[in-house]
């Protein structure tokens, strides 16, 4: 599966648009994770526990996006984007979305 953030795919021709594909991951921070992050906050800098959680959520949403695109019959996703929202205290939704298409080489 080819995934790009651009509106087109150089070297390929879009032969079919299949619609929006998406993958959603909803994650929460654990009490233990929050305590560890609180300690890191005291010292400043990168909060690695939250960075790891964010990356896991993005990767899961990306993997789900690709899976949905494949189920739709796509061999590429164009205009791929991420969005994230806090749904509740310590609960974050990460959405990966894009346009599922069928492409062929020029």
Q: Which pLDDT tens digit goes with each residue over 22-42?
A: 999 987 765 555 555 555 565
What pLDDT is attached to residue 87?
Answer: 75
What pLDDT is attached to residue 42?
Answer: 59
pLDDT at position 97 over 70: yes
What pLDDT is attached to residue 45?
Answer: 63
CATH of the domain at 38: 3.30.110.70
Pull the structure tokens for residue 36: 């560890």
Instruction: Return d(Cα 77, Cα 70) in angstroms, integer.
Output: 10
**pTM exceeds cut of 0.85:** no
User: Which residues fall within 8 angstroms of residue 8, CB to CB, at 6 or more apart?
Assistant: 14, 78
Counted domains in the chain: 1
Domain span at residue 18 reads 2-105
pLDDT at position 63 over 80: yes
């Amino acid at each position: 599966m080819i995934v790009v953030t651009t509106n087109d795919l150089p070297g390929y021709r879009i032969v079919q648009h299949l619609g929006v594909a998406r993958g959603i991951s909803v994650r929460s921070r654990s009490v233990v994770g929050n305590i560890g992050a609180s300690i890191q906050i005291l010292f400043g800098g990168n909060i690695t526990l939250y960075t790891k959680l964010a990356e896991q959520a993005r990767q899961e949403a990306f993997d789900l996006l690709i899976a949905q695109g494949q189920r739709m019959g796509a061999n590429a996703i164009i205009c791929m984007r991420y969005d994230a929202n806090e749904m509740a205290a310590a609960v974050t939704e990460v959405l990966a979305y894009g346009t599922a298409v069928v492409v062929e080489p020029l």
